[in-house]
Every structure is written in C-alpha cells, then in structure tokens.
C-alpha cells in the first residue's frame, strides 16, 4: 500500500476528536475561557468567586434586570469545575459538531439551546412566585453553567451520526436525563436539560443542510 493512502495513524485520528485553533476555533477558544474561569473558581479568592458566580446567575431577579449580561456571563462557568463530566462532553461534542457545520453555526446551536432553555425554565419560576406557588427566594437561586448549550449541541450532533450511533447516543443521554428527572434534585435544570436536547433535535433539518454546505467547502475527516 502506497504511503499516505492507508488509514491515518491512531494518534492523528485521535487528534481529530480534540479542538484546535485552526479547524475548530469556536470550541478551542471557548474551552480556553472555561479552563481559565474554572481554575479561577478553584483557586481564586472565595469571596470574589462567590460574588462573580452570583452576578452571573440566570435567576429570575438577574434576568429581569440584566438579561443579556447574565445570559452571556452564566455560560462562562462550568458547574462543578474541570472535574465535571460536562467538560468532557463539551470537548468531544462541540469539536465534532463544529467540524461538521462550522464555527458560527456551532456557536449558534449552543447559544440557542442556552438561551431558550434558560428562559423556558426561569419564566415558569417567575409565574409560580407571582401566583404564590413558590417562595420569593426562588427568584434568587444560583443558576449558571454550560449544560443547556451542550445538550442542544448533543441533540444537533445526533442528527449527523449514523442511524445506529444516533440511537445509542440519544438513548444513553435520555436515560441519564430521565434518572435526573426522577430524582428531581434541581427541578429547573432537570426539566431544562431534556428541553435543551429537544431544541437540538428540532434543528436537524438546518444542521444537516449546514453540514452539506460545509462538506462542499471543507471535507470532514475523522473517526465519526
């Protein structure tokens, strides 16, 4: 077999799973930001970290005052820090999605999932407080992280996988989300996660069209 025409070395195939400045600038840059904020949250001054996290929270009180600011700021932190499984999911899911549809479109999927799922879960909280079904303290709950945007990207990426892999991914994620719903330790997040996943799934026609356009300009190679 002639050199260069066989299967790429394992290390090169593995590298395609990871973000890089050239092929996946959105994922790479965003990951650097998340690493920086996670390290600061871990080793920075406890008081300053607490103030910043509360100021970044997408609770009803903050959303009513500074919606754009907190929607952006809340996505700059990872709940649980670098040890969170969301970081691993972010690396592989966002890298795969961005390679297939491009940086701007991948960013749009993440942003739509983050914003829509946040508003769809916090608005009912506000209504419930006004109706007297929840205490006023519910307006000030701490809520931040990348999980809504990530799950929207998982849902979108599933539409670009082979049928078998698509079923396996969605089934695995659905089981985890159902487990969280049954425990219902954090109702806002536990209901927001499946909603975010559904947002990504609803975007399959647009994502597939974007993937076809992307493949005509930049052929995608990789283990997926």
Supply angle C-alpha 133, 115, 152, rounded to 5.
105
Q: Could you tell me which residues come within 8 angstroms of residue 146 by beta carbon, excluding any fewer than 6 positions away?
A: 34, 75, 77, 78, 86, 90, 114
Is pLDDT at 109 greater than 60 in this prediction? yes
Mean pLDDT of 98-117: 97
Q: What is the mean pLDDT of residues 44-69?
A: 95
For the chain, percent of residues with pLDDT exceeding 70: 90
pTM of the entire predicted model: 0.90
Domains in the chain, CATH or no CATH each: 22-217 (1.20.1540)
């Amino acid at each position: 077999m002639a050199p260069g025409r066989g299967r790429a070395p394992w290390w090169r195939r593995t590298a395609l799973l990871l973000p890089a400045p050239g092929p996946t600038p959105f994922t790479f840059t965003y990951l650097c930001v998340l690493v920086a904020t996670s390290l600061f949250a871990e080793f920075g001054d406890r008081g300053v970290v607490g103030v910043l996290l509360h100021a970044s929270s997408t609770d009803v009180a903050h959303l009513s005052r500074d919606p754009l600011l907190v929607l952006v700021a809340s996505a700059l932190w990872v709940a649980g820090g670098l040890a969170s499984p969301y970081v691993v999911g972010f690396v592989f899911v966002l890298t795969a999605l961005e390679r297939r549809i491009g940086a701007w479109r991948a960013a749009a999927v993440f942003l739509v999932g983050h914003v829509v799922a946040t508003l769809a879960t916090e608005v009912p909280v506000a209504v419930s407080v006004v109706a007297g079904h929840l205490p006023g303290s519910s307006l000030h709950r701490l809520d931040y992280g990348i999980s809504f945007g990530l799950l929207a990207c998982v849902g979108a990426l599933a539409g670009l996988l082979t049928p078998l892999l698509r079923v396996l991914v969605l089934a695995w994620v659905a089981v985890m989300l159902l487990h969280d719903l049954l425990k219902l330790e954090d109702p806002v997040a536990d209901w927001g996660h499946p909603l975010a996943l559904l947002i990504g799934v609803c975007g399959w026609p647009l994502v597939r069209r974007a993937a076809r356009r992307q493949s005509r300009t930049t052929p995608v190679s990789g283990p997926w």
